[in-house]
Amino acid sequence: MSWTDERVETLKKMWGEGQSASQIAKELGGVTRNAVIGKVHRLGLSNRTTTGAAALKSEPKAKPAPKAEPKAKPAAPKPAAPEMKTEAAAPPKSNLPARKQIIPAGQPLPPQPSANEISPEALAKVNEIEKKAKKISLMELTERTCKWPVGDPATEDFWFCGLPVQQGKPYCEAHVGVAFQPMSARRDRRR
DNA sequence: CCCTGATTCGC
DNA sequence: GCGAATCAGG
């Protein structure tokens, strides 16, 4: 595949929208995110309002002893970028009255702190995402699917969240929220 | 581990 | 010009 005007346009458009290089690559097809990034650079359009996870803190560090720089590099074209918006990829969401008491717990899973000392927000979030849950079965679990169990294992109404996990954690972001409590009220009862 | 962009360098 | 490999950071 080559960079036709069309493809370049799509690239520019998406990049401008804050899409990640991998997403753009996926969209275009036939190219990898590396190719996209490479092109982006060659095109001159680079830094936008840094996307999502990576490359946020890349700040040109002042060199402590920059005396060995015979090359003159006065040109520093840096037209101020009025774009100061952060990534805004919020999918439209509709609210539905949450139901109560979900997040049961299979058995060997999340330590549930009295199911009420949990951040109301976290709970709300869980209810919210459970509607989006992929509802996968035990065998469909992979290293990167949320392993949060929902429903009663003894029922047909049982499934695992299955959403993309939070990096490192076994659950998706929402479930991580209720699974890993900051530990506060529940002090050590053993001492 | 997964993801992100940045750079390098052989083609 | 292109992009895989590699790097750097979250």
Closest nucleotide C1' to the C-alpha of A61: C8
Residue A159: φ, ψ to 5°: -160, 170
Highest averaged pLDDT of the listed ranges A7-21, A107-121, A170-184: A7-21
Asked if pLDDT for residue A87 goes beyond 70, the answer is no
Protein A38 CA to nucleic acid B7 C1', in Å? 9
Asked if pLDDT for residue A112 goes beyond 70, the answer is no
Asked if pLDDT for residue A119 goes beyond 50, the answer is yes
State which residue has its Cα closest to the C1' atom of C1. Answer: A42
State which residue has its Cα closest to the C1' atom of C4. Answer: A34
Residue A154: φ, ψ to 5°: -90, 10
Q: Report residue A182's pLDDT band, with 50, 70 and 90 as the boundaries.
A: low
State which residue has its Cα closest to the C1' atom of B4. Answer: A54
pLDDT at res. A171: 86
Residues 6 or more apart whose Cβ sits within 8 Å of residue A25: A31, A32, A33, A35, A36
Q: Tell me what the mean pLDDT of segment A32-58 comes to.
A: 70
At residue A136, the 3 state secondary structure works out as strand
Sequence ranges of the domains in chain A: 5-43, 115-190
Q: Which residues of A68-88 are buried (b: 16+ CB within 10 A; e: fewer)?
A: eeeeeeeeeeeeeeeeeeeee
Q: Which residue has the higher pLDDT, A63 or A110?
A: A110
Protein A71 CA to nucleic acid B10 C1', in Å? 25
pLDDT at res. A162: 84
Protein A186 CA to nucleic acid B9 C1', in Å? 56
Percent of chain A with pLDDT over 90: 12
pLDDT at res. A57: 38
Asked if pLDDT for residue A85 goes beyond 80, the answer is no
Strand B: list positions under 7 Å from protein Cβ.
1-8
pTM, whole model, 2 decimals? Answer: 0.43
Protein A169 CA to nucleic acid C7 C1', in Å? 25
Q: Which residues of A177-190 are buried (b: 16+ CB within 10 A; e: fewer)?
A: bbbebeeeeeeeee
Which residue's entry shows tokens 């520093």? A76
Q: Report residue A77's pLDDT band, with 50, 70 and 90 as the boundaries.
A: very low
